[in-house]
């Protein structure tokens, strides 16, 4: 094995856990995937289709033959998490792709998903690459409670984690007491803190909160963020994320009531102006900031409308 790693970054959590930076939206340290170098090696998340060559190089420098990869586990089917799954499944012919049962049909036939992502991310779509259908027999279709032994004490336990999307799962790794969070705990960058990810079409606030409680009960010692990296102090981070999420939904709800349902553009403009003053503006290019804000506002707005229509609106 080469002594210097170029593609696989070691994590502080465990000598066999590595993160690969997918350089999402052209940014370093914004989104990636994990390689767990266990006797049965596993990938958690895949990055985009165009991340696949980098993943193969990372496997090579870790001394893992593609034929030996046992599992490719995705927290959900959004393209920054599962976009590369079909491509990696082809290159790792013995790997089974672990996916939550609600999302699995989209990996078998990704056409509708790709169109939905295109609507949600708008001008950022060129970053998202493409998807390749995965033959059904390569999938292991799971729900919370499933457990995969990887050898030497490593394992992946599936935790139902709806909220960001109804088919979202997290994976708990018992040996390192770490939790692969997907998007269930937002996007975290140490220098600016949390960034919301509340996308259409199915963001659900109460389910997100219930998921955070379920994750707390596991008492993890590490959070392995897809966006981005392994962080200690999970209880502080889970509390902080919940506070930020409540505030975000609360602000949108208040402004929506103030502006009225027909003033959707004014709602976007308001939050874009606000976020342009926030630390986010230092991170994103202006067009990316605009697309992200629109996506996160739309997700909450659709949720608020659904809640009003179902008669459970508190107002
Ligand atoms: Zn994501």
Domain assignments of the chain as residue spans, ordered by start: 9-248
- Of the options 3.40.50.1820, 3.60.15.10, 3.55.40.20, 3.40.630.30, the CATH number for the domain spanning 9-248: 3.60.15.10
Structure tokens belonging to residue 196:
């919301």
CA of 79 from ligand 1 middle (Å) equals 8
Structure tokens belonging to residue 142:
């799971």
CA of 148 from ligand 1 middle (Å) equals 23
CA of 228 from ligand 1 middle (Å) equals 10
CB-CB contact of 36 with 154 (8 Å): yes
Q: What is the pLDDT of residue 206?
A: 97
CA of 200 from ligand 1 middle (Å) equals 13
CA of 1 from ligand 1 middle (Å) equals 31
pTM exceeds 0.85 = yes
State the DSSP string of 65-107.
-GGG--EEE-S--SHHHHTTHHHHHHHSTT-EEEEETTTHHHH
pLDDT, one tens digit for every residue, the chain (315 residues): 446 899 999 999 999 999 999 999 889 999 999 999 999 999 999 999 999 999 999 999 999 999 999 999 999 999 999 999 999 999 999 999 999 999 999 999 999 999 988 988 888 898 999 999 999 999 999 999 999 999 999 999 999 999 999 999 999 999 999 999 999 999 999 888 999 999 999 999 999 999 999 999 999 999 999 999 999 999 999 999 999 999 999 999 999 999 999 999 999 999 999 999 988 888 888 888 999 999 999 999 999 999 999 987 654
Residue ranges of alpha helices (H) inside the chain are 52-61, 79-82, 85-91, 104-108, 111-121, 205-217, 234-259, 264-276, 280-283, 286-309
CA of 187 from ligand 1 middle (Å) equals 8
CA of 72 from ligand 1 middle (Å) equals 16
CA of 169 from ligand 1 middle (Å) equals 12
CA of 261 from ligand 1 middle (Å) equals 28
Q: What is the pLDDT of residue 93?
A: 98
Q: Distance between CA 288 and CA 270 in Å, rounded?
A: 17
């Amino acid at each position: 094995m080469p002594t210097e790693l170029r593609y696989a970054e070691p994590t502080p959590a465990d000598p066999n856990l590595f993160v690969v930076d997918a350089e999402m939206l052209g940014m370093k340290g914004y989104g990636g995937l994990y390689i767990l170098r266990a006797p049965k090696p596993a990938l958690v998340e895949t990055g985009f289709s165009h991340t696949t060559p980098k993943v193969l190089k990372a496997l090579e420098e870790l001394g893992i033959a593609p034929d030996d990869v046992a599992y490719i586990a995705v927290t959900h089917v959004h393209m920054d998490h599962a976009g590369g799954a079909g491509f990696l499944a082809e290159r790792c012919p013995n790997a089974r792709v672990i996916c939550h049962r609600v999302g699995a049909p989209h990996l078998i036939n990704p056409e509708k998903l790709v169109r939905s992502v295109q609507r949600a991310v708008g001008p950022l779509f060129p970053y998202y690459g493409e998807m390749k259908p995965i033959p059904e027999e390569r999938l292991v279709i799971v729900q919370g409670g499933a457990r995969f032994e990887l050898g030497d004490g490593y394992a992946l336990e599936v935790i139902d984690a709806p909220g960001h999307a109804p088919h979202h799962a997290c994976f708990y790794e018992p040996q390192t007491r770490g939790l692969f969070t997907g998007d269930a705990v937002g996007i975290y960058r140490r220098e600016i803190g949390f960034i919301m990810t509340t996308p259409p079409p199915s963001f659900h606030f109460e389910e997100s909160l219930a998921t955070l409680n379920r994750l707390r009960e596991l008492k993890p010692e590490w959070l392995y963020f897809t966006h981005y990296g392994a962080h200690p102090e999970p209880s502080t981070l889970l509390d902080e994320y919940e506070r930020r999420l409540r505030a975000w939904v609360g602000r949108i709800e208040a402004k929506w009531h103030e502006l009225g349902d027909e003033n959707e553009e004014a709602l976007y403009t308001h939050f874009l102006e606000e976020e342009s003053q926030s630390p986010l503006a230092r991170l994103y290019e202006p067009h990316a900031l605009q697309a992200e804000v629109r996506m996160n506002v739309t997700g909450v707005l659709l949720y608020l409308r659904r809640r009003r229509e179902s008669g459970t609106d508190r107002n």
